[in-house]
Amino acid sequence: MKALLRRPSGAIGLVLVAVHVAIAVTAPWIVPHDARAISAALMFSPPDAAHWLGTDHLGRDILTRTMLGGRQALLVTAIATPLAVAWGGMLGMYLGLAGGQRDDVAMRLVDALLSLPWILKMLLMIVTFGAAPQVLVPVLAFFYGVPVIRIARAATQGVVARDYVLAARARGHGRFSIILREVLPNVRDALMVEGAMRWSWMLLAFSSLSFLGFGVAPPTPDWGLMIADSRSFLAIAPWAALAPVAALSSLIIGINLTADALAKALGLDRAHSAPQ
Amino acid sequence: MLAYALRRTLLGLITVALVSAMIFFAVEALPGDACTAVLQRDAHGQRLENCRREMGLDRPATARYLDWVGGAIRGDLGASAGSGKAITELVGARLANTLLLAGLSMAVGVPLALLLGVVTALARDRAPDLVLSTVAILAMTIPEFVTATLLIFTFSVWLGWVPGIVLASADAPISTLFPTIWLPVAVLTMVMTAHILRTVRSSMIDVMEGDFVQMARLKGVPAWRVVWRHALPSALLPAINVVALTVAWLLGGVVVVEKVFNYPGLGRFMVDSITERDLPVVQGLALVVASAYVGVNLAADLLALLLDPRLRTARLRA
């Protein structure tokens, strides 16, 4: 934690994330206006003293909606991320330790799942089961746990031949006990960084889905939805789109700066990533 | 080496076979089928049964799966439930558009990423590196629709240089796509350049500390030659896999960008087919995209094997 804060990028990242979480938690009590109050007289009013960030095409206050717009995304992803890391991490450690045929079969399945684009998998689920948070949490946790399996498995294979694992085996410890007591402490760093990355990918997926019209339903304020709504009015009311753009970007940048600084502080190399 | 190559190819084929089964039976397990999609509110009683018999949906799922796979191998993915057109035809036209988009982005992005990767590695922890590395994090993490919105705001609303969306049908000739293709290309290039740049930077830093680079320096090879002829080729090896994953992403994952710019490619087609519940098209598309992903990654692994003599003698592992 200290090593993380000592790096400027880590400190900036953590502050950004903390501010976003604080706003999301307290927003319902501190927003200046009603997020759903529609007013024809206030349509597209530019930023002024009453509406600091202006209003949108329905005269709704942009500051209010931007402050509230991250709540669903943060709530869903904050629950789904630990779930994804937990199940992906456990399975990955188990496969790394067990090896053999079970490992071969499981990894082929992982490869197969990873070869499909995320949006196809997510959309199929959403079109069938809807986009309520109780659907999105398990679906996101499942799909975003799959790449974690790979990371945890690779990290486990790095320690599986070490003396302390052999010693634990010789002492007659079961697989589960070896995973928790010998493997997990060595894989934890990699899982933490991976978890931060999964969180940012999930936020990206969540807001992209809202943007495409498959996520949060209007009139609930949501960044992806707000950007989609105000995109057509960029020429007359750029503030309506730029405020949620800034909010969403700063949160995702914050998470990534933190993950990057964390990886550097822990001595992990996470430069070899590909877009997803 | 040949054994490894064969083994790797076989694993790729197994993965594709697994994906095909996964796609088919997953879509099968979801409620509703091609007939409920076509008939919509009339989907009950005799009409539904007739339709299912006509489309062969009353046969067991495994038999239909084998038919589907057999057809796919011969290049026939069946017909769209919505329009009745051949899926290979529908996919073909859009695949060409997506390939154009992906090809242009690669042509701009890969050389740019190599150049910037070398620059940041050489200037490690100094101003150019810090600035470029931060920009790279921004480019790779900000959602594509956000970048797209900002670019549209800047270049088509504010400056008015290029149109903000593409108004062309899927089978439009390339010439009509051209003036409008630059903003989507810019968005994709930003994302992929950032990822490849980071890989090249980190492996370039490793390589520059290697003995053979020290040796070249000590014997008086000019600095630029050390960088471009001695260090860069070895530093590129780790980049091959990232480039491959990027290509796979370009072929299947650019849904959001295509949707934002209304670009008539595979990604937009995928979203539209899923919303219309045109399941045969969804299955066909998923198979094409997944095969492309597996194929590109296989090609990258084999290329790395060909280029890196160390891998040939290394213990043969899957």
Say which CATH number the domain at B244 has: 1.10.3720.10
Q: Do B27 and A257 touch (CB under 8 A)?
A: no
Q: Are A192 and A258 in contact (CB under 8 A)?
A: no
Which of A56-70, B88-102, B160-174 shows the highest mean pLDDT?
B88-102
Task: State whether B225 and B257 are in the same domain.
Answer: yes
Task: State whether B176 and B138 are in the same domain.
Answer: yes
Q: Residue B81: inside a domain, yes or no?
A: no
Task: State whether B194 and B127 are in the same domain.
Answer: yes
Which of A22-36, B90-104, B145-159, B244-258 shows the highest mean pLDDT?
B90-104
Mean pLDDT of chain A: 84
Q: What angle do CA B27, A106, B244 make, to 5 degrees?
A: 80
Q: Do A112 and B142 touch (CB under 8 A)?
A: no
Q: Given B15, B142, B202, which is nearest A271 (Cβ)? A: B202
Domain range for B226: 90-276
pLDDT at res. B318: 40
Architecture per CATH, domain A2-273, reads as: Orthogonal Bundle (1.10)
**Calpha distance B11→A107 (Å, rounded):** 11
Among A12, A109, A115, A245, the strongest candidate for a mutation testing the B interface, having the largest count of B CBs within 10 A, is A115
Place A141 in a pLDDT band, splitting at 50, 70 and 90.
very high
Task: State whether B141 and B37 are in the same domain.
Answer: no
Task: State whether B29 and B99 are in the same domain.
Answer: no
Task: State whether B271 and B284 are in the same domain.
Answer: no
CB atoms within 10 A of CB B56: 11
Residue B317 has pLDDT above 50, yes or no: no
Compute the nearest-CA separation of B198 from chain A (Å). 5
Q: Residue B108: inside a domain, yes or no?
A: yes
Task: Kindly give, in sequence order, each residue whose CB lies less than 8 Å from that of residue A170, ignoring residues fewer than 6 positions away.
Answer: none
Task: State whether B315 and B232 are in the same domain.
Answer: no
Number of structural domains, chain B?
2
pLDDT at res. B168: 66
Rounded to two decimals, the pTM is: 0.85
Taking alpha carbons only, the member of A206, A257, A198, A248 closest to residue A223 is: A248
Q: A14 or B69: whose pLDDT is higher?
A: A14
Task: State whether B143 and B179 are in the same domain.
Answer: yes
Task: State whether B169 and B238 are in the same domain.
Answer: yes
Residue B316 has pLDDT above 50, yes or no: no
Among B8, B11, B15, the strongest candidate for a mutation testing the A interface, having the largest count of A CBs within 10 A, is B15
B130 CB neighbours in chain A (<8 A) are: none
Task: State whether B252 and B107 are in the same domain.
Answer: yes
Q: Residue B85: inside a domain, yes or no?
A: no
Taking alpha carbons only, the member of A10, A28, A30 closest to residue A18 is: A10
Q: Do B271 and A235 touch (CB under 8 A)?
A: no
Which of A114-123, A184-193, B65-74 is predicted with the least confidence, judged by mean pLDDT?
B65-74
Domain residue limits, chain A: 2-273
Task: Kindly give, in sequence order, each residue whose CB lies less than 8 Å from that of residue B26, ignoring residues fewer than 6 positions away.
Answer: A124
Q: Are A125 and A139 in contact (CB under 8 A)?
A: yes
